Amino acid sequence: MTRYSVHRFRAAVLHMYLRITAFISLPLSVVYFVLDMTPDRGAFALLLGMFVLWLQWRTRHDGEESLRFVNWFVLAMLALMLYGTYFSNAQLRQEAWMMIFPITFAPIVAARERFVWAVAGAVSIVAAMMLRPEVPTAVSTMVLVIAYLALCFVTMMLVRHNEQNIERLAHLSTIDPLTKVYNRNYMKDILLGEINRCRRNGRPLTAIMLDIDHFKILNDSYGHMCGDSVLERVAEALKQAAQRAGDFVFRYGGEEFCILTSGLSADEARQFAEKLRVCVKGLDIENQRAPRGHLTASVGYWWVADAAEVTPGMLLLNADNALYRAKEAGRDTIVDFAEIERTDTGLVQLQPAAS
């Protein structure tokens, strides 16, 4: 959950940086060529601007996919810093060029990569200064590197603090306050993302709808406080059963839950659905007025081998149809949508997704 939010933040910052760099570098190249008569600087600014425009085109679709090109942009900013450090003068000193790199890489690279880029920048600064026509003293070089590392540290701490705030807000906006599983609003984002991921990777996708049987009877018999406690216990049991990296548990509404998982075969999907049903029954919660005398759950699921023509609405509707049949069959059972006759009344007719 929070990982997706932080990644979206990093992608948004990358797109902002690309626009700013293109807006500055391209006009600056004209200034260098025409007014300042320094074709070497003009060529560098032009190449940087063209490279950034290419990156903008490659990352024109917002989202996590654009983060694949983060390191390309960071390398371009490192080259800009080294170019400025080497050719700096009294009007634009090394310190000004040094500040460009930390504030560029820290907000857009992964946390584990920030230390690597900080060290790479420090080593590159030392190399660029040693190659200058007037070699600086060891003391001035050390002071510059220490100042650079201090700036890196402060910038990374600020970025991390900002990411923690994003994670807290994402947690509050995507978690159901009672059951502590994902809420229905967040499910919409995850469904679309998982369908696209499975479509790209050719992985199967499974949507499971689980409904607590005779939950109204339990509420009427034991009170709503007891009902809330039961929902918490069921949600925790489902989270314990769905612990793979690609498993998501959502509260769909009331006493109904949706579980999304990917990468399972047809047999594994059925076993997983049965595991969820059994884990609810295994809580051994009393419900005396219910036909079975204890808490049970009905489960319907749809296993999709190829997600190429699947939409989020279709995925949920077909799993919900299977759940409806599980209730019709006497509850406390699982039903696979693929096993239902397609000509049955009330079932959705599968249509290819709009291209």
> Do the domain assignments include residue 65?
yes
Neighbours of 233 (CB within 10 A): 15
Computed over its alpha carbons, how large is the radius of gyration of the chain? 28
Instruction: Looking at the structure, tell me whether residues 289 and 151 fall in a common domain.
Output: no
**Mean of the pLDDT values across residues 120-140?**
82
Is pLDDT of 353 > 50? no
Is pLDDT larger for residue 74 or for residue 167? 74
For helices 111-130 and 70-87, give the axis angle rounded to 10 degrees: 20
Neighbours of 179 (CB within 10 A): 21
Locus of tokens 């499971």 = 208
Task: Give the global pTM.
Answer: 0.62
Q: Which tokens in the block code for residue 208?
A: 């499971």
> Do the domain assignments include residue 353?
no
**Mean of the pLDDT values across residues 236-264?**
93
- Phi, psi of 223, rounded to the nearest 5 degrees: 95, 160
Burial of 149 (0-12, 13-18, 19+ CB in 10 A): middle
Of 51-55, 124-128, 249-253, the range with the lowest mean pLDDT is 124-128
DSSP 155-199: HHHHHHHHHHHHHHHHHHHHB-TTT-SB-HHHHHHHHHHHHHHHH
pLDDT band at 8, cuts 50/70/90?
Answer: confident
Is pLDDT of 196 > 60? yes
Which residues, listed in sequence order, are joined to residue 211 by a DSSP beta bridge? 256, 298
DSSP 44-73: HHHHHHHHHHHHHHHT-S-SGGGGGGHHHH
> Do the domain assignments include residue 347?
no
The pLDDT, as a whole number, for residue 209 is 97
pLDDT band at 83, cuts 50/70/90?
Answer: confident
pLDDT band at 92, cuts 50/70/90?
Answer: low
Q: Which of 152, 174, 196 is the last residue of a domain?
A: 174
The pLDDT, as a whole number, for residue 128 is 81
pLDDT band at 125, cuts 50/70/90?
Answer: confident
Separation CA 317–CA 304 (nearest Å): 13
Separation CA 101–CA 143 (nearest Å): 17
pLDDT band at 93, cuts 50/70/90?
Answer: low
**Mean of the pLDDT values across residues 247-266?**
94
Instruction: Looking at the structure, tell me whether residues 137 and 220 fall in a common domain.
Output: no
Q: Which of 147, 174, 201 is the last residue of a domain?
A: 174
* Host H or E run for residue 267: helix 266-281
The pLDDT, as a whole number, for residue 343 is 45
Instruction: Looking at the structure, tell me whether residues 125 and 229 fall in a common domain.
Output: no
Is pLDDT of 91 > 80? no
The pLDDT, as a whole number, for residue 141 is 82
Instruction: Looking at the structure, tell me whether residues 205 and 322 fall in a common domain.
Output: yes
Best CA proximity match to 322, nearest among 306, 334, 310, 307: 334
**Mean of the pLDDT values across residues 171-189?**
88
pLDDT band at 64, cuts 50/70/90?
Answer: low
The whole domain housing 278 covers 184-339
Instruction: Looking at the structure, tell me whether residues 237 and 152 fall in a common domain.
Output: no
> Do the domain assignments include residue 255?
yes
Q: Which tokens in the block code for residue 352?
A: 């290819």
Of 2-16, 115-129, 256-270, 320-334, the range with the lowest mean pLDDT is 2-16
Separation CA 254–CA 166 (nearest Å): 28
Instruction: Looking at the structure, tell me whether residues 234 and 113 fall in a common domain.
Output: no
> Do the domain assignments include residue 266?
yes
Is pLDDT larger for residue 331 or for residue 346? 331
Separation CA 214–CA 194 (nearest Å): 32
Instruction: Looking at the structure, tell me whether residues 155 and 66 fall in a common domain.
Output: yes
pLDDT band at 242, cuts 50/70/90?
Answer: very high
Contact 309, 353 (CB under 8 A): yes
**Mean of the pLDDT values across residues 84-107?**
75
> Do the domain assignments include residue 179?
no
Instruction: Looking at the structure, tell me whether residues 45 and 164 fall in a common domain.
Output: yes
Instruction: Looking at the structure, tell me whether residues 77 and 199 fall in a common domain.
Output: no
Is pLDDT of 158 > 50? yes
Is pLDDT larger for residue 210 or for residue 42? 210
Separation CA 261–CA 194 (nearest Å): 9
Q: CATH number, domain at 282?
A: 3.30.70.270
Instruction: Looking at the structure, tell me whether residues 162 and 34 fall in a common domain.
Output: yes
Locus of tokens 């997600």 = 307
The pLDDT, as a whole number, for residue 144 is 85
Indicate the number of domains in the chain. 2
Instruction: Looking at the structure, tell me whether residues 39 and 167 fall in a common domain.
Output: yes
Average pLDDT value for the chain: 86
> Do the domain assignments include residue 352?
no
Q: Which of 108, 142, 174 is the last residue of a domain?
A: 174
Is pLDDT of 192 > 70? yes
**Mean of the pLDDT values across residues 248-268?**
94
The pLDDT, as a whole number, for residue 62 is 57
The pLDDT, as a whole number, for residue 61 is 65
> Do the domain assignments include residue 141?
yes
Instruction: Looking at the structure, tell me whether residues 250 and 324 fall in a common domain.
Output: yes
